[in-house]
Amino acid sequence: MIEFLYNHTMATFTMALPQKKFYRQRAHSNPIADHCIEYPIKPDIMDWTVLYSNIIPIFDTNRSIKILNKFVEFVDIGCGYGGLLVTLSLMFPNNLIVGMEIRVKVSDYVIDRIAALRSQFPDQYQNIACIRTNTMKYLPNYFYKGQLKKMFFLYPDPHFKKAKHKWRIINKSLLAEYAYVLAENAIVYTMTDVKDLHEWMVQHLTVHPLFLRIPIEQLTSDPIIEKLYESTEEGQKVTRNNGDKFLAVFRRISDPYLNSKEEFLIT
């Protein structure tokens, strides 16, 4: 439900922030099931201009391919109700940020929330957007190789049952896709209140040859770190329940195989 507020001073209407009670949905969603989701068959045909007002498309000579002046660089996987998106928007006004959420009503809430914020603050929040999609299936359909600089996995579904561990958003197969869309030196942020899931994510990222864990002492200069604890609704819930929060941050490193191959060819 979308409400409008009347500003008597400016004599204009603005959208009110959405209320979660109108967007209730189950906390979990089966990522393996077939969902009615529209997605691009390749990054070339993804029209980002409908999501961001500060993207200016320039067509090629045949007017068949849009050449964009800006590209999405930050992705919040399973963005929930959009708390991190809103926080990052003001921290990085020059970066395009997208949240990806599989739950239809939750993604609807985030879309309406961003629209309301843009309505109330026309000069802000133009750099964030939300897409309802299944990143476990379609992530490479949206992004080019090496496009992303930051990826966030905050409080992902733990899928406690061993038979459903294959549904976890961090796994061996998906890490290959994440490494593909991430630029060298890009950062991956993970946080959860489930110790078993934290250890699972750390283990899988650690053994992957293209990710290197960043020591905690090197994270003190990263302004994003402190925002990860309270910016999301799930993080605030964990705080209210006096729960633990487990953080792990990784860097996407260069391919050691390609480097050694280049050295061999040179010698």
Q: Catalytic amino acids?
A: 157
Q: Per the structure block, which two tokens stand in for 193?
A: 């209140």
Residue 82 to residue 59: CA distance in whole angstroms:
32
177 annotated as a binding-site residue: no
The amino acid at residue 11 is: A
- 82 labelled ligand-binding: no
Query: What secondary structure does DSSP assign to 243-265, as a single string?
Result: ---EEEEEEE---HHHHHHHHHH
Q: 148-154 and 128-132: which strand pairing?
A: unpaired
Is 99 one of the annotated binding-site residues?
Answer: no
**Separation CA 100–CA 82 (nearest Å):** 10
65 is in an annotated binding site: no
Is 32 labeled as ligand-binding?
no
Buried b (16+ CB within 10 A) or exposed e, 153-173: bbbbbbbeeeeeeebbbbeee
171 assigned to a ligand binding site: no
How many angstroms separate the CA atoms of 58 and 75, rounded?
A: 24
Locate 178 and state its tokens: 């994440």
Q: Is 134 annotated as a binding residue?
A: yes
Q: Which tokens go with 129?
A: 């957007």
Q: How many CB atoms lie within 10 A of CB 138?
A: 17
Annotated ligand binding at 135? The verdict is yes
| Residue 128 labeled ligand binder | no
Point out the annotated binding site.
Answer: 78, 101-102, 134-135, 154, 232-234
Point out the annotated binding site for S-adenosyl-L-methionine.
Answer: 78, 101-102, 134-135, 154, 232-234
